[in-house]
């Protein structure tokens, strides 16, 4: 006798006996769906908030089984190293690579003149992949070697002879502004980006102020210093397609830049993002990838390049040093009437992401405060130093340090509690930013009050 399917109510499954005719459909009994749609409360829509969550890569990291790019190898893979200029500004008269090419174990040598389109950059294409006519800062690469081992490649770099004609250099952003200063990218001006924001009448605002305070604040150049340095592997297939395994954080932008530099259609370039051992904005643009690609093409073998810690400091982007001048007019009770800001960004030798950083720094330079009269100006200049670029915040950390330090100075001079002066001036719901954006969901004052309460700000201090 054939038994009929049964419903396992606990598991919600229909169970067929082994001898039941499988051609008959097994239909679950009808179930009523909720008619009313339940909408969770705002800020309670994600059940995971406040709960323990396991990172998908946590177990692999913890067991040491994550494969970073330095763990990758391909059959016949070579190792590349880049010779750095070691001089801030110079004209390259000649590069002699014959001794390096004659070394046993050296498979290929590359100079800037062999690069199809020897320039790149996220906005301005002002950076050479390898310097071929001019050196713009000491970290510029001037030649590259692919060899059987890293040691052989490093020894070969020592045998490459470069004849330089030293040129005047400029290292201070204020000197770079002078008319008689050396032009980093002559004949172009050292000023390559600027932004101005105006709101109200700045002179009228200062005239209406009871007190005017001034201050200058500086931040320094900062290297990201990820545990994993910049690293890439380049290899070609038999159909002339390039694959690059790289620690790049923005592989789509990197792919476009690599294709442009190599004069290839973008569909002939594939970039594989590897597990990244730290980025913080410092791996947002190409570095050695085109060099490795051309060395791989020359040798017909995969080529791997890994930066040294020294190269991380001298040949990759850093956070922008900014000199920030603030002038603020306030009433007797500490309410801000007018603020004038001037930012001078030291961009180093190349533009990189300076235009983005400059724009964000200028927009945010007034701080989260209601100010009727504002004038903010930002300028980026070239110097013969390591280039600056993307780093977490894009200009926001620098100006935040400046305007909050300035607020503390004003509070101290007026004998007003630093928390109170911020509460008197902070944005409210519907306040407008310096560029006219109407702000919503503003909780600056509430956040300050809650933080002060939990910190015990008003409690007596010993």
Q: Is the pLDDT of residue 70 over 70?
A: yes
- Its CATH class, for the domain covering 231-311, is alpha beta
**Statement: residue 80 has pLDDT above 60:** yes
Q: What is the pLDDT of residues 89-101, one digit of tens each?
A: 999 999 999 999 9
pLDDT band at 18 (very low <50, low <70, confident <90, very high): low
pLDDT for position 52: 74
Domain boundaries, the chain: 70-166, 173-223+318-455, 231-311
Q: What is the pLDDT of residues 350-365, one digit of tens each?
A: 999 999 999 999 999 9
CA triple 120-192-85, angle to 5 deg = 50
| pLDDT at 9 > cutoff 90 | no
Section 413-442 average pLDDT = 96
Element (H, E) at 404: helix 396-414
pLDDT tens digit sequence for 126-168: 999 999 999 999 999 999 999 999 999 999 999 999 999 999 9
Among residues 145, 147, 119, 146, which one has the least CA distance to residue 131?
119
Can you give the pLDDT at residue 4? 62
Give the count of beta carbons closer than 10 Å to the beta carbon of residue 82: 25
pLDDT at 448 over 90: yes
Residue 368 banded pLDDT, cuts 50, 70, 90? very high
What gap in Å lies between CA 321 and CA 344, rounded to an integer?
Answer: 8
On the question of pLDDT at 441 being above 90, the answer is yes
Handedness of CA 243, 248, 250, 255 (dihedral sign): negative
Quote the CA–CA distance of 382 and 170 in Å, as a whole number: 9
21: pLDDT strictly greater than 60? no
Q: How many CB atoms lie within 10 A of CB 355?
A: 18
DSSP annotation of 380? E
Q: Residue 36: which pLDDT band, with cuts at 50, 70 and 90?
A: low
Its pTM stands at 0.86
pLDDT per position as a tens digit, 228-285: 999 999 999 999 999 999 999 999 999 999 999 999 999 999 999 999 999 999 999 9
Q: What is the pLDDT of the chain when averaged over all its residues? A: 92
378 pLDDT more than 90: yes
Question: What does the block give as tokens for 417?
Answer: 């509690």
- Please state, in angstroms and as integers, the Cα–Cα distance from residue 212 to each residue in 160, 208, 335, 399, following that order: 59, 10, 12, 19
| Domain 173-223+318-455 part of CATH 3.40.1170.60 | no
Q: How many residues does the chain have?
A: 462
Instruction: Provide the pLDDT for residue 99.
Output: 98
Question: What's residue 41's pLDDT?
Answer: 61
pLDDT at 30: 61
Q: Are strands 336-346 and 373-381 parallel, antiparallel or unpaired?
A: parallel
Q: How confident is the model at residue 337 (pLDDT cuts 50, 70, 90)?
A: very high
What's the angle, vertex CA 308, arms to CA 116 and CA 111, rounded to 5?
Answer: 25
- 10: confidence class by pLDDT, cuts 50, 70, 90: low
Q: Residue 460: pLDDT band by 50, 70, 90 thresholds?
A: confident
Using CA atoms, how far residue 118 sits from 141, 261, 291, 356, 374, in Å, is 12, 6, 10, 23, 42
pLDDT for position 61: 87
Mean pLDDT, range 55-60, rounded to an integer: 84
**Cβ–Cβ < 8 Å for 435, 362:** no
Mean pLDDT of 433-451: 95
- Distance between CA atoms of residues 398 and 392, nearest Å: 11
| Predicted local distance difference test score (pLDDT) of residue 59 | 85
Q: How far apart are CA 89 and CA 385, in angstroms?
A: 9
Query: How would CATH label the architecture of 70-166?
Result: Alpha-Beta Complex (3.90)
Exposed/middle/buried for residue 84 (C-beta within 10 Å: 0-12, 13-18, 19+): buried
Domains 70-166 and 173-223+318-455 share a fold: no
State the DSSP H helix or E strand holding residue 82, giving kind and residue range, or none if neither: strand 78-84
């Amino acid at each position: 006798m054939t038994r009929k399917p049964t419903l396992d109510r606990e598991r919600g499954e229909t169970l067929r006996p082994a001898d039941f005719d499988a051609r008959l459909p097994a239909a679950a009994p009808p179930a009523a769906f909720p008619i009313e749609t339940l909408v969770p409360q705002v800020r309670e829509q994600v059940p995971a908030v406040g709960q323990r969550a396991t990172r998908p890569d946590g177990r692999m990291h913890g067991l040491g089984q994550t494969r970073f790019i330095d763990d990758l190898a391909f059959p016949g893979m070579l190792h590349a190293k880049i010779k750095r200029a070691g001089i801030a500004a110079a004209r390259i008269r000649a590069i002699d690579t014959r001794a390096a090419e004659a070394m046993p174990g050296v498979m290929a040598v590359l100079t800037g003149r062999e690069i199809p389109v020897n320039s790149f950059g996220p906005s301005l294409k002002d950076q050479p992949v390898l310097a071929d006519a001019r050196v713009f800062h000491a970290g510029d690469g001037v030649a590259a070697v692919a060899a059987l081992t890293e040691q052989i490649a490093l020894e070969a770099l020592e045998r490459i002879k470069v004849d330089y004609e030293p040129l005047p250099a400029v290292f201070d952003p204020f000197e770079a502004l002078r008319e008689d200063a050396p032009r980093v990218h002559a004949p172009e001006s050292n000023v390559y980006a600027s932004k101005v924001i105006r709101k109200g009448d700045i002179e009228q605002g200062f005239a209406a102020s009871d007190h005017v305070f001034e201050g200058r604040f500086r931040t320094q150049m900062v290297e990201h210093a990820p545990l994993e340095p910049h690293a890439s592997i380049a290899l070609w297939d038999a159909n002339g397609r390039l694959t690059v395994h790289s620690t790049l954080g923005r592989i789509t932008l990197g792919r476009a830049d690599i294709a442009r530099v190599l004069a290839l259609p973008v569909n002939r370039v594939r970039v594989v993002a590897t597990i990244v051992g730290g980025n913080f904005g410092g791996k947002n643009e190409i570095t050695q990838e085109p060099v490795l690609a051309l060395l791989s093409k020359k040798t017909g073998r995969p080529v791997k390049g890994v930066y040294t810690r020294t190269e991380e400091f001298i040949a990759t982007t850093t956070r922008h040093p900014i000199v920030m001048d603030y002038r603020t007019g306030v009433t007797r009770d500490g309410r801000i009437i007018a603020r004038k800001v001037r930012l001078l960004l030291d961009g180093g030798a190349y533009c990189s992401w300076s235009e983005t950083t400059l724009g964000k720094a200028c927009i945010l330079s007034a701080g989260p405060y209601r100010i009727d009269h504002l004038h903010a100006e930002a300028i980026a200049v070239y110097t013969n130093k390591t280039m600056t670029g993307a780093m977490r915040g894009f200009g926001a950390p620098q100006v935040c340090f400046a305007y909050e330090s300035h607020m503390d100075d004003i509070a101290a001079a007026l004998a007003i509690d630093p928390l109170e002066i911020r509460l008197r001036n902070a944005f409210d719901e519907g306040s407008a930013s310096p560029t006219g954006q109407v702000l919503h969901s503003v909780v600056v004052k509430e956040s300050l009050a809650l933080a002060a309460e939990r910190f015990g700000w008003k409690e007596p201090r010993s």
